[in-house]
Amino acid sequence: MASEAKVSVRRYHLYINGEWVGSSSGRFIPVMDPSTEEIIAEVPDANEKDVNRAVAAAKAAFDSGAWHETTAQERGRILFRLAERVRKEAGMLAELEARNSGKPIVEAEYDINDVATCFEYYGGLATKVLGHVNPVPDNALSLSLREPIGVAAQIIPWNYPLLMAAWKLAPAIAAGCTCILKPAEQTPLTALEFANWLPEAGLPPGVVNIITGYGESAGAPLVLHPDVNKIAFTGSATVGKIIVKAAADTVKRVTLELGGKSPNIFFADADFESAIDGALFGVFINQGEVCSAGSRILVEKPIYTKFVEAMAAKAKTIRLGPPLERETKMGPLVSKDQYDRVRSYQEVGKKEAKLAAGGGRAASMPKGYYVEPTIFYDVDNSARIAQEEIFGPVAAVIPFANEAEAIRIANDTPYGLAAAVWSRDIFKTFRVVKAIRAGIVWVNHMQPTYVEAPWGGYKQSGFGRELGPSGIEEYLETKQVHINLNEQPIGWY
């Protein structure tokens, strides 16, 4: 394999208890560059035995020793050191992320910057976790203490590999938890590189462990393990449902960040040029492999025809290319599986609606998992392409007659992750914002996401909130302490 590939195949290991170790099976999973279809690395195919080792390390680190004694100030400083290292190595990380996931290098650079910002944010927040005094009607001091939940298993997807790792690791470390992170099998490389810097940042062995492998063999045993106290999962709704059920037997705390089919709503009074850009950016950023993709584009009838035409014309100019070229605006999809999935939805769409742009493989790219940015219009909201998460550059444009109809269509989905509203009328806009059942609603924009603000879904898009102050809450328990201040005997008997 290594001899026939033009690129060198780097072999990685599992990171358990501060050491790089092989998997108990000795098997490896190939990791691809989706723009060349070549293998660029291989990572261990971990199984239950490896998971057990990692959980034992995480539990031991939580229960006693240096981490158990650590102060919030020390944890904050560790996070700042990690952020600094990420900033120093940003070029290497962005390049590796782009090569492994297929995302354009410029987008990967944004992601890596956000990774560092996330560690900085939770570095600062570590010392702002406050308990409180409860006003009980007795001569007693009633305290609420905040304590780390314990061992957290963190299972993440492939679309924002290191950023999803940061969203999970940073608040967990700030809270004082210990972690086992399982990256997606397609995109584990940046998280493994990142692990190299954990010891020098001051993290004792066992605080962060990284297990690579498939969901069924490495993810599932983590979810079942009795010593894991919390699961933080980002991924598909299908797997999210499996995880909630599997976590029930041991009553684990679970947070789920699942998919979406988010409406991007354009009223006729919106600024037209910004609207077209916003519609395209909302659905095609990161090749459409975005949980909050504005994949249902709802357009008010007076501007509908002009809108579809302008969108289609501009979509045809989107520059597809190798992820490492700075001019590239859209790279390949992450894997052959994802490519096949998106291609099949392009065919479903041709039967369900009218095609305005794209609809096939990107002919300009001879190799790699490239598909054309694709726009369907006259889509009925009950169509599969309007109800099912495609997770690729496929947009469904749906006309609406008035505000009430826009709201009805927007909410007519099992999901509730995100939405956007475009209009110059603040009163109408706010009525729509309030009526929409989603965890985030953008106004006159779509997609900006900030570490400082909460992120998560309504309905089947999940529960719990990452980022912002809520992000650390999900890693904390509350302990009530009652201190009797009466010196006399209780006097009951």
The residues annotated as belonging to the active site are: 257, 291
Contacts of 350 (CB under 8 A, 6+ apart): 359
Nearer to ligand NAP, 75 or 253 (CB): 253
Binder to ligand NAP among 214, 272, 281, 430 (CB under 6 A)?
214
Q: Interface with ligand NAP includes 55 (CB under 6 A)?
A: no
Nearer to ligand NAP, 28 or 391 (CB): 391
Binder to ligand NAP among 25, 52, 236, 411 (CB under 6 A)?
236
Select the span of 39-47, 156-164, 403-411, 473-481 touching ligand NAP (CB under 6 A): 156-164
Q: Interface with ligand NAP includes 425 (CB under 6 A)?
A: no
Q: How far is the CB of 442 from ligand NAP (least distance, A)?
A: 15
Binder to ligand NAP among 235, 288, 349, 464 (CB under 6 A)?
235
Binder to ligand NAP among 229, 234, 262, 447 (CB under 6 A)?
234
Q: Interface with ligand NAP includes 223 (CB under 6 A)?
A: yes
Distance CA 411, CA 418 (A): 11
Binder to ligand NAP among 70, 159, 229, 287 (CB under 6 A)?
159
User: Hey, what amino acid is at 155?
Assistant: I
Q: Interface with ligand NAP includes 220 (CB under 6 A)?
A: yes
Q: Interface with ligand NAP includes 299 (CB under 6 A)?
A: no
Select the span of 39-47, 114-122, 154-162, 484-492 touching ligand NAP (CB under 6 A): 154-162
Q: Interface with ligand NAP includes 216 (CB under 6 A)?
A: yes
Nearer to ligand NAP, 81 or 225 (CB): 225
| Contact yes or no for 377/308 (Cβ under 8 A) | yes
Q: Interface with ligand NAP includes 282 (CB under 6 A)?
A: no
Calculated CA dihedral for residues 205, 170, 160, 97, nearest 10 degrees: -50
Distance CA 199, CA 369 (A): 37
For the residues of 2-65, what is the DSSP string, one character each? TTT-SS--EE--EEETTEEE--SS--EEEEEETTTTEEEEEEE---HHHHHHHHHHHHHHHHSS
Q: Interface with ligand NAP includes 97 (CB under 6 A)?
A: no
Contacts of 100 (CB under 8 A, 6+ apart): 31, 32, 33, 40, 41, 161, 186, 187, 189, 190
Which tokens sit at 362? 């990107």
- Binding to ligand NAP (CB under 6 A) within 359-398 occurs at 389, 391
Nearer to ligand NAP, 212 or 346 (CB): 212
Classify residue 176 as exposed, middle or buried by CB count within 10 Å of its CB (0-12, 13-18, 19+). Answer: buried
What are the C-alpha distances in Å from 452 to residues 73, 319, 371, 475, 476? Answer: 20, 32, 34, 17, 18
Select the span of 71-79, 238-246, 309-317, 342-350 touching ligand NAP (CB under 6 A): 238-246
User: Hey, what amino acid is at 487?
Assistant: E
Which tokens sit at 217? 């063999």
Nearer to ligand NAP, 127 or 236 (CB): 236
Q: Contact residues for ligand NAP (CB under 6 A)? A: 155-159, 182, 184-185, 214-216, 219-220, 223, 234-236, 239, 242-243, 257-260, 291, 389, 391, 417, 457
